[in-house]
Chains A and B, each alone.
Chain A
Amino acid sequence: MTLQSILQVLVSGLQVGCIYALMALSFYVIQSATGILNFAQGEWAMISAVLGVVFLPFVPYPIAIAAAIAGATGLAILSERLFIRRLESRNAPLVTVILSLLGIMIVARYGTALLFGQEEYPLPGPARSEIIEFGGELYLLPQTLVIYATTVAVFAAVELHMRRTKLGRSLRVAAIDPIGAQLIGVDLNRVRAFAFGLGGVIAAVAGWLYAPLYAAGYMIGVVPGVKGFIVMVIGGMASPLGSLVGGITLGLIEVAAARYLSSLYSEALAFVVLMGVLFVRPEGLIAAGTRS
C-alpha cells in the first residue's frame, strides 16, 4: 500500500466517483424540486453519447457536443411535457407517474436499440487520449482532468443557481412546501419543467464524460442510472452535497476494494457497505441541516 498506489486509487476513485456524483445530481435536482424519481436519467446520458457518435462524422467536435447535449436535454423536456405534466394536472396517483417514468426509460433505451443498433461505438473525449504518466506509477488520462473540472463546475453552478437566482430559489421552495410555494406565486409547472430540463442537461454532460472512458451504445445508461440513484439516496437527499459526497465515496470504495482486497468482490463489498450506511443512518451521509 505504497503512497503511489494510494494516489492512484484516489485519482481513479475520484474519476469513477465524479461520474456517479453527476448522475446522482441529475436525479437530485428533479427529486428535490418535484418529489419525482426519474428513472430515465441514465438513458439521457446514453442518448447524449449516442447522438455524439451519430453527429461527429459530420460536424466539428464542439458542435457535436452541443448538439448531442441539446438533443438529449430536449428529449428530457419533451418527456416531461408530454407525460408528466399531463398526469400532474390530473392529480394522477404516484403509481401512474412511476408507471409512465418506467415507460419513458424503456422507450428511450429500446427505441435507441431499434434506431441505432445493438453494437457499441467509441466516443472520443474532448482532450487528447494519450495517457499522462507520473514517475512511472501514477497514470492519468486527460479525460480524467476534464471530468474533475466539469464536476466541480456543474456542482458549483447548481449550488449557486439554487441560492442566488429566482428560479433556483423557487426550486428549493417548491421542494419544501409545494402548496405554500404556489400560494406565493411559484408556478409549479414551470419549476417542474425546469427541473427536468436541468436534470437532463446534467445527465447529458455526464454521458460525455463517461462514454469516452467506456463506450457508446444503447445499454450504457443502465449502470450510471442505477448507481446514480443509489448514490443520491446514500449520499443524502437534503442537498446537492449529498450526491457529491455519496458519489465520491462509492467510487473510492469500489476502486480501493479492487486494488487492495480483491476485484472479484469489490462490487458486492461496495453494495454491502452502502446498505450498512443506510441501516446506521437512514437519512444518508449528508443529512438536512449540514452546511458545507
Chain B
Amino acid sequence: MRWTVGALLLALFPVFVREPYYITLCVNLAVTLILTLSLNFVVGTSGQWSFAHAAFFGMGAYVPGVLASRFGLDGWLGLPLSVVSTSVLATVVGLPIVRLRGYYLAVCTLALGFLAEIIVRQAVDLTGGGYGIQQIPPLFIAGYRLQGGSYYLLALAALLISSLLLDNIKGSTLGHAIVATRDNPIAAGSCGINVGRVKLTAFVITAGLAALAGWVHTFYYLALNPSLLASDLTFLWYFMVFIGGLGSVPGVVIGTALLSIAPEFLGMATHNQVLAFGLLMLGVALFAPRGIGGAVTGLLQTGRFLAAERSTK
C-alpha cells in the first residue's frame, strides 16, 4: 500500500515542473508505455508476433486528428471513434491472419505495416501526405485547455486504464484462454476454446490500445506526420519489451523507461544510440535472458533467500 501511494505521489511531480520539455518527456513515456505494454500482451501473453503495431498506433492518431482538423470534430468524440475504427480494421485484417502462425503472421503484419505507411503518405488530400497536419484543435475540459501539466494527467490516466485493463484480462477466464492458445493450441481447442476467436480478441484488444496511445499522442502534439507509422517504431518497441523482459510487466516498464529516457540525457546521435541498444540486447541475451526485469527479480529473490537464510541462523 505504501509503495502505491508513494509511486502515485512521485508520478504527480511533473504537474508542477515549469519547463515544457520535461512534460513532453513524461507524456512520451506514458504513450510509449501503453504501446509496449500492449505489445508485450500480444507477443508475450498471446504468442502472436504482430509487426503492425505502429500501423494501429498511426491509425489511432490520424483518425481523430484528421477529423478534428478537417471536419471540426471534437477531440473527445475522436477517442471512441479512433479506438473503434482501429479495432474494426484490426478485426477485418485479423480474421484471415490469426490462422497463420509464427513467421507467416510476422510477414503479413510487416507487410500491413508498410502498406499503411504508403497509404497515409499517398492520400495527400486527406492526411497532408509527407508534411502531415499541423494545428489540430486541442482538447478542452469545461472551457479549460488541456496542455502541459494538465495533459500529463490525461496521459497518466490513459496509461493507468490500459495497464489495469491488461492486468484484469490476464487474470480473467479470457486471459487464461489466451495463454492456453499460446502454449498449446491443439489442447486448448480440444477443451472447447475457440482458438481463432480468442487469438483475434487478443489481437484486436492490442490494436485498440495502440489506437488509444495514438489519440493521446495526437492531442498533445497537435500535429501528425507519417513517421508515426514507420515500422522502425515497432522494432524499437520490441527492443524495449525484450530488453525489459518479455512477459514481465515491471520488466517492460523498466525497459521502456530506459530506452526512452537514457538517450535524452546521453545526447548520442541516433545511430550510436541504436548501436548501443543492439549491444545491450546482445548483453541481455547472453547474461540476462529474462531481460532486465528478470534479472532484477532474480536478484531480489536471491536477496530474499539470503536474508531468510541469515535469519534462521
Kindly state the separation between the CA atoms of A2 and B99 in the bound complex, as whole angstroms.
Answer: 42
A residues less than 8 Å from B278 (CB atoms): 102-107, 110
Q: Would A268 and B99 be within 8 Å (CB), given that A95-B246, A106-B278, A110-B271 are in contact?
A: no
Count B interface residues, CB 8 Å.
34
Kindly state the separation between the CA atoms of A111 and B279 in the bound complex, as whole angstroms.
Answer: 10
For residue B103, CB closer than 8 A to chain A, the reply is yes
For residue A92, CB closer than 8 A to chain B, the reply is yes
CB proximity of B41 to chain A, nearest CB, Å: 15
Is the CB–CB distance between B275 and A278 below 8 Å? Answer: no
Is the CB–CB distance between B103 and A37 below 8 Å? Answer: yes
Is the CB–CB distance between A271 and B286 below 8 Å? Answer: no
Closest to A107 in B: B278
Interface 9-mer from B1-9, B107-115, B149-157, B196-204: B107-115
Q: Would A110 and B275 be within 8 Å (CB), given that A37-B103, A100-B282, A282-B100 are in contact?
A: yes
Kindly state the separation between the CA atoms of A97 and B281 in the bound complex, as whole angstroms.
Answer: 11
Pick the residue among A96, A111, A264, A279 that contacts B275 (CB under 8 A).
A111
Contact digits for A82-109, partner B, Cβ 8 Å, 1 yes 0 no: 0100110010110111111011111100
For residue A1, CB closer than 8 A to chain B, the reply is no
A residues less than 8 Å from B299 (CB atoms): none
Is the CB–CB distance between A272 and B115 below 8 Å? Answer: yes
B residues less than 8 Å from A120 (CB atoms): none
Interface 9-mer from A63-71, A205-213, A226-234: A226-234
A residues less than 8 Å from B246 (CB atoms): 95
Kindly state the separation between the CA atoms of A83 and B238 in the bound complex, as whole angstroms.
Answer: 20
Q: Would A274 and B111 be within 8 Å (CB), given that A106-B274, A268-B118 are in contact?
A: yes
Is the CB–CB distance between A233 and B103 below 8 Å? Answer: yes
CB proximity of B183 to chain A, nearest CB, Å: 12
Q: Would A279 and B96 be within 8 Å (CB), given that A103-B285, A114-B271, A271-B114 are in contact?
A: yes
Pick the residue among A83, A237, A272, A282 that contacts B99 (CB under 8 A).
A282
CB proximity of B285 to chain A, nearest CB, Å: 4
For residue A275, CB closer than 8 A to chain B, the reply is yes
For residue B284, CB closer than 8 A to chain A, the reply is yes
For residue B272, CB closer than 8 A to chain A, the reply is yes
Kindly state the separation between the CA atoms of A111 and B104 in the bound complex, as whole angstroms.
Answer: 30
For residue A187, CB closer than 8 A to chain B, the reply is no
Closest to A232 in B: B103
Kindly state the separation between the CA atoms of A110 and B269 in the bound complex, as whole angstroms.
Answer: 11
A residues less than 8 Å from B235 (CB atoms): 102
Is the CB–CB distance between A271 and B285 below 8 Å? Answer: no
CB proximity of A253 to chain B, nearest CB, Å: 14
Closest to B96 in A: A279
Is the CB–CB distance between B111 and A96 below 8 Å? Answer: no
Kindly state the separation between the CA atoms of A227 and B271 in the bound complex, as whole angstroms.
Answer: 23
Pick the residue among A37, A83, A229 that contacts B285 (CB under 8 A).
A83
Closest to B281 in A: A103
For residue B289, CB closer than 8 A to chain A, the reply is yes
Q: Would A83 and B103 be within 8 Å (CB), given that A103-B278, A111-B275 are in contact?
A: no
Pick the residue among A92, A113, A226 that contacts B271 (CB under 8 A).
A113
Q: Would A92 and B282 be within 8 Å (CB), given that A233-B104, A233-B107, A278-B107 are in contact?
A: no
**Smallest CB-CB A-B distances: 6 pairs:** A106-B278, A103-B281, A100-B285, A110-B275, A103-B282, A107-B278
Q: A99-B285, A106-B275 are in contact. List 11 more A-B contacts (CB 8 A).
A: A87-B289, A90-B289, A99-B281, A103-B282, A103-B285, A107-B282, A114-B272, A226-B110, A230-B111, A278-B100, A282-B104
Which residues from chain B sit less than 8 Å from chain A, CB to CB?
96, 99-100, 103-104, 107-108, 110-112, 114-115, 118-119, 122, 235, 238-239, 242, 246, 271-272, 274-275, 277-282, 284-286, 289
Complex A-B: 8 CB contacts under 8 Å: A92-B285, A98-B242, A103-B278, A111-B275, A233-B103, A268-B119, A278-B108, A282-B99
